[in-house]
Amino acid sequence: MSFTTAVGKEIGNSLKDLGYKRRGTNIWRSSDSGDFAVVHLQTSSSSRRGINSVFYINCSICPAPWLAWLDWLHERPRPAGPPDPASGIWRARVLAAAPFGEYDTWSVAAENELAAVVPIAEEATRFIVTTVEPLMDRQRLLDTLPAGAELRLRLAFCAEQRNEPELHDLYRQLPQGSAFREWAAWYVAR
């Protein structure tokens, strides 16, 4: 088993009670509304001597209507299962904790791998529980996003719920001819 798979397994086991599932280095959960919290351990190569494992822990929130927008934009439905973490409207990396890296890059020497699995998984789990998991609440997610992304997601939620009055107010805030505006009209009419 690779080092990142071992870390992923430890994180997945820690999050199982919250409804997370794991396949390899992908960990996710979905809500009743079809929104996803996704965690992915992304491996990287390193040219530094003595470093065996270099990786990133990517997290994202992928609301169902946002995924529908991406499907429409790319003119193809996404495969079944959890979305790619890059599909999220909110994305972050778990910052590396000393002595296992710096900033967002986790790096572990071969001789330290076994001892590093649990501390890295604990740090990642703490971030997921305190930062990612609360954003599965749609209002909290909206409150976290920058203005442009918040407007588009609010519009997507209104289109999903067919909330016509608020939808028309939000339409006016998007430029005429906007692809997102066109998608929202299509989505509400589906």
Residues 6 or more apart whose Cβ sits within 8 Å of residue 96: 102, 103, 104, 105, 106, 107
pLDDT digits (tens, 9 = 90+) for 52-65: 778 899 999 999 99
pLDDT digits (tens, 9 = 90+) for 105-131: 888 877 778 888 999 999 999 999 999
Considering only CA atoms, which of 8, 11, 1, 9 is closest in space to residue 126?
A: 11
pLDDT digits (tens, 9 = 90+) for 150-171: 999 999 999 999 888 888 888 8
75 and 157 assigned to the same domain: no
**C-alpha distances out from residue 168 to 57, 67, 68, 162, 179, Å:** 39, 22, 20, 11, 16
pTM: 0.90
59 and 118 assigned to the same domain: yes
Structural domain for 83, as ranges: 3-138
64 and 84 assigned to the same domain: yes
43 and 114 assigned to the same domain: yes
128 and 159 assigned to the same domain: no
48 and 93 assigned to the same domain: yes
Number of domain units in the chain: 2
83 and 167 assigned to the same domain: no
3-state secondary structure of 1: coil
133 and 90 assigned to the same domain: yes
